[in-house]
Homo-oligomer: A and B are copies of this chain.
Amino acid sequence: MLRRDVPRSAKRTAAPTPRDSARAARLDVYRRHVVDAAERVFAEHGFDAARLQDISRLAGLSMGTIYAVFPGKAELLQAILDDRGRELLTLVQDVVAAGRPPRETLQELSRAYIGYFVDHPAFLQLHLREGRAWIQAPTGGGDRRAAIWQAIHGLQESIFRQGIDQGLFVEEEPALLAKTFSALDQVVLADWVAGGMREDRATLVGRLQGLVTRTFARS
């Protein structure tokens, strides 16, 4: 039958129709599948060597479906780094929002970071392979990927600034300290990956906390 000429057009911008929300839900499921598969394939082969075919196969979805959800390969990587970056940002925001004293906050942050990456080993590998955004210059928000890391580092800087003001941390440019924190994080995790991911989470947390304390704490 011909499509009815929308007597419910009034609702159009109001509540979404069940059909629309179903559609949105389905697309969201696909999105997650695609992102998951892509994350793993990118992690294993690196972005350039990764083939969309493989992602399609791993996701159990056709090429067409992938392209229904993402405009292209680049945007797929973007989306992964974006999603994960946002999750990390939320994590940091939560930790910071708790309002604990600086040293404690740093310890919590270490625990949170390690926990997140241990929980998402594929992303960890991808992050170690392709995640150079945290070294990028503050470009004024032109690149979303970099923007998220700037937000993350911004929060970290605020902690460092606080700690420095209270005489708890070494006196050094907070921006550099934030990056150093990320670097220490990366060292511990990279070492873990390189060693075959054998240590458990607590060990890694302890290791990072140790490094962090020694690096930043004023004795």
Contact = CB atoms under 8 A, between A and B. Distances in A.
Interface of A: 1-3, 26, 29-30, 33, 46-49, 60-61, 128-129, 132, 135-138, 170, 172, 175-176, 179-180, 182-184, 186-188, 190-191, 193-196, 207, 210-211, 214-216, 219
A214 B1 CA distance: 53
19 contacts: A1-B26, A2-B29, A2-B61, A48-B48, A128-B135, A135-B186, A135-B187, A170-B210, A172-B207, A172-B211, A176-B187, A176-B188, A179-B190, A180-B184, A182-B187, A183-B184, A214-B214, A214-B216, A215-B215
A137 B170 contact: no
Interface centre among A48, A60, A191 (most CB of B within 10 A): A191
Interface centre among A136, A172, A175, A190 (most CB of B within 10 A): A190
State the oligomeric state as a number of copies.
Answer: 4
Given A137-B195, A184-B183, A214-B216, A60 B176 contact: no
B132 A2 contact: no
Contacts of A219: 219
A195 to B, nearest CB: 6
